[in-house]
């Protein structure tokens, strides 16, 4: 059974297929066309963490495809009321896909190990692959050729930047992480990426001029993520020299595009003048979460025989 726990679960051609599906369903939606390709399909969403973009984009996306999104909070008893095996095997009797937004990456891997329903990682402490899908879609829309482009992530080696580094390696984008060295990507993460993609170009530096001079895209994230509140003062002190402001952007080219996964703490990691600048793609990037995830749902449905390729092609979709 195919799952989507990490970008490393799929091949480069499969990644292109998912993005192409997402771009095509986005184009249809912009023309007012909402084909019902997943009628009566049910997407369960197990969330341990608060969410705006992940929750609403999945729920709206499955509805636009003719299915139903079902939000599962603490009332269903996850993870303490019964074993993971009993929980997911019973859930698989009711639903067709499960999105997990959990604190523990290992818990998502365990749920997928039972192979009874396709599992989608909606965010863990280690990975945020659906965010990376939306990020890549936004980059493709703004640049006809992505190979050889350069993306600089300003922040720490968290779940967002880890997924983004994997995504960049898969499509040939140079990845630069700018921030204090104590918060760089773990060597094991870089090693894992280069084992799969030996040509991956990953550089981590505290030198803002080095990181920004050739950047086509600059991406930043909050300095203190959910669950790190106790480290907030320490992180603010460490990351303050790397605030994405006009002074820092002056080191990049004038056409350099701005990305942020949101929510943003304006005035902390990014200033209003940068996030609201004409070069900012932040709102489009958030919108693309839904379109990219619709591509993912259709791809998973194709893998599991829930929709026929011919049915998509009859609606003009190119596979």
Among 55, 101, 166, 176, the active-site one is: 101
What number of other Cβ atoms are within 10 A of residue 34's Cβ? 13
Specify whether 304 is catalytic. Answer: no
Among 166, 221, 235, 285, the active-site one is: 221
Q: How far is Cα 260 from Cα 222, in angstroms, rounded to an integer?
A: 9
DSSP assignment letter at 255: T
Q: Residues of 214-223 as b/e, b for ≥16 C-beta within 10 angstroms? A: ebbbbbbbbb
Q: In the Cβ-directed half-sphere of 276, how many Cα atoms lie within 13 Å?
A: 5
Specify whether 34 is catalytic. Answer: no
Specify whether 261 is catalytic. Answer: yes
Among 3, 55, 105, 289, the active-site one is: 289
Q: Is the dihedral of CA 143, 149, 153, 154 positive or negative?
A: negative
Specify whether 101 is catalytic. Answer: yes
Structure tokens at 287: 């919108």
Among 53, 128, 176, 235, the active-site one is: 128
Among 156, 261, 285, 291, the active-site one is: 261
Specify whether 256 is catalytic. Answer: no
Among 126, 131, 204, 293, the active-site one is: 131
Residues 6+ away with beta carbon under 8 Å from 33:
none
Beta strand 202-205 with 174-178 is: parallel
Specify whether 166 is catalytic. Answer: no
Annotated catalytic sites, by residue? 101, 128, 131, 221, 261, 289
């Amino acid at each position: 059974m195919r799952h989507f726990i990490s970008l490393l679960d799929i091949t480069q051609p499969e990644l292109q297929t998912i993005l192409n599906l997402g771009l095509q369903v986005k184009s249809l939606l912009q023309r007012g066309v909402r084909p019902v390709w997943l009628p009566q399909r049910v997407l369960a969403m197990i969330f341990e963490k608060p969410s705006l973009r992940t929750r609403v984009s999945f729920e709206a996306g499955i509805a636009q495809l003719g299915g139903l999104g079902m939000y599962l909070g603490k009332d269903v008893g996850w993870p303490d009321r019964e074993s993971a095996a009993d929980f997911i095997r019973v859930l698989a009797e009711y639903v067709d896909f499960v999105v997990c937004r959990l604190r523990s990456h290992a818990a998502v891997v365990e749920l997928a190990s039972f192979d009874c329903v396709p599992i989608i990682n909606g965010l863990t402490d280690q990975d945020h692959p659906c965010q990376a899908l939306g990020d890549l879609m936004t980059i493709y829309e703004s640049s006809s050729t992505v190979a050889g482009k350069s993306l600089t992530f300003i922040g720490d080696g968290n779940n967002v930047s880890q997924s983004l580094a994997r995504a960049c390696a898969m499509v040939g984008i140079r990845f630069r992480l700018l921030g204090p060295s104590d918060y760089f990507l773990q060597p094991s993460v870089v090693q894992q990426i280069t084992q799969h993609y030996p040509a991956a170009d990953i550089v981590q530096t505290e030198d803002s001029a080095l990181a920004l001079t050739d950047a086509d895209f600059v991406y930043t994230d909050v300095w203190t993520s959910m669950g790190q509140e106790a480290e907030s003062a320490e992180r603010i002190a460490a990351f303050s020299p790397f605030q994405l402001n006009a002074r820092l952007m002056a080191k990049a080219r004038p056409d350099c595009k701005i990305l942020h996964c949101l929510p943003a703490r304006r005035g902390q990691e990014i200033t209003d003048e940068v996030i609201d600048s004409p070069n900012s793609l932040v709102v489009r990037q958030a919108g693309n979460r839904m379109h990219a995830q619709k591509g993912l749902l259709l791809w998973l449905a194709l893998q599991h025989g829930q929709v026929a390729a011919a049915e998509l092609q009859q609606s003009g979709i190119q596979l």
